[in-house]
């Protein structure tokens, strides 16, 4: 193995190890850069091998692939962050608009029918405290059993435990490292015994 092929082999091995270490904890930007560099190095080494510059091709391919992978991964990270922010904002909006125990009691004491109260809960959502003690208190305040059951069925937003939307961990699988051995150069063999010279591969 000549010096050039040795350098390209070491480069590919190092890049392959980089893509293997810590991929489970990487975000999309980091993982994209690592995988892009690895794939770019392999592709660059293959292309550069044809011109006798496998090492240089691997380095150029790694830089180009790493940049492209980083840009793609960054866009994916931004999309996921946006989705998480939208989901959290929607939850907070629903929590602010939701009907609570006091709202139901006020409507009941004002003579609003159960069907109208149920319609309001259905349209705005509910954030009710429905512990056993609270259900007893609601019953004593004049709420009907069908209305309490409806509140249990439509308690979308918990008033005691806010929902926090979290991003799922990203698991990225790494490509295996491929070592490309350059094709040997032809060498000229001097003629012996009056025969014409020829090339050996």
pLDDT in tens, 41-95: 667 666 666 666 666 666 776 777 777 777 777 777 778 788 887 777 766 666 6
Verify that 62 and 36 share a domain, yes or no: yes
Asked whether residue 79 is domain-assigned, the answer is yes
- Of all residues in the chain, what percent carry a pLDDT higher than 70? 45
Verify that 74 and 14 share a domain, yes or no: yes
Asked whether residue 199 is domain-assigned, the answer is no
Asked whether residue 73 is domain-assigned, the answer is yes
Q: Which residues neighbour 127 within 8 Å (Cβ) at sequence distance 6 or greater?
A: 95, 98, 99, 100, 155, 156, 157, 158, 159
Verify that 55 and 19 share a domain, yes or no: yes
81-113 as b/e, with b when 16 or more CB fall inside 10 Å? eeeeeeeeeebeebbeebbebebbeebbeeeee
CA atoms of 150 and 147, how far apart (whole Å): 5
Verify that 49 and 84 share a domain, yes or no: yes
Verify that 79 and 106 share a domain, yes or no: no
Asked whether residue 39 is domain-assigned, the answer is yes
Per-residue pLDDT, averaged over 101-110, amounts to 93
Verify that 103 and 134 share a domain, yes or no: yes
Verify that 9 and 89 share a domain, yes or no: yes
CA atoms of 84 and 95, how far apart (whole Å): 17
Verify that 50 and 70 share a domain, yes or no: yes
Verify that 89 and 104 share a domain, yes or no: no
CA atoms of 189 and 194, how far apart (whole Å): 13
Of 143 and 22, the one with more pLDDT: 143
Verify that 13 and 34 share a domain, yes or no: yes
Verify that 83 and 121 share a domain, yes or no: no
Total domain count, the chain:
2
Verify that 88 and 114 share a domain, yes or no: no
CA atoms of 67 and 55, how far apart (whole Å): 19
Domain range holding 109?
Answer: 99-153
CA atoms of 29 and 66, how far apart (whole Å): 10
Residue 156: is its pLDDT beyond 90?
Answer: no
């Amino acid at each position: 193995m000549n010096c050039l092929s040795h350098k390209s082999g070491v480069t590919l091995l190092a890049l392959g190890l980089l893509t293997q270490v810590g991929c489970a904890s990487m975000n999309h930007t980091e993982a994209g850069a690592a995988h892009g560099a690895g794939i770019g190095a392999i592709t660059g080494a293959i292309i550069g091998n044809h011109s006798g510059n496998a090492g240089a091709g691997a380095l150029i391919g790694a830089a180009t692939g790493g940049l492209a992978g980083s840009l793609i991964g960054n866009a994916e990270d931004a999309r996921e962050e946006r989705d998480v922010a939208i989901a959290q904002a929607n939850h907070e909006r629903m929590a602010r608009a939701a009907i609570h125990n006091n709202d139901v009691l006020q409507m009941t004491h004002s003579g609003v029918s159960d069907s109208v109260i149920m319609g309001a809960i259905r349209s705005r959502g509910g954030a009710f405290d429905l512990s056993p003690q609270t259900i007893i208190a609601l019953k004593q305040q004049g709420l009907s059993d069908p209305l309490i059951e409806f509140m249990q069925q439509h308690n979308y937003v918990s008033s005691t435990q806010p929902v926090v939307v979290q991003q799922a961990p990203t698991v990225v699988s790494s490509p295996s490292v491929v070592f490309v051995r350059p094709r040997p150069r032809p060498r000229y063999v001097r003629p012996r015994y009056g025969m014409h010279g020829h090339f050996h591969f």
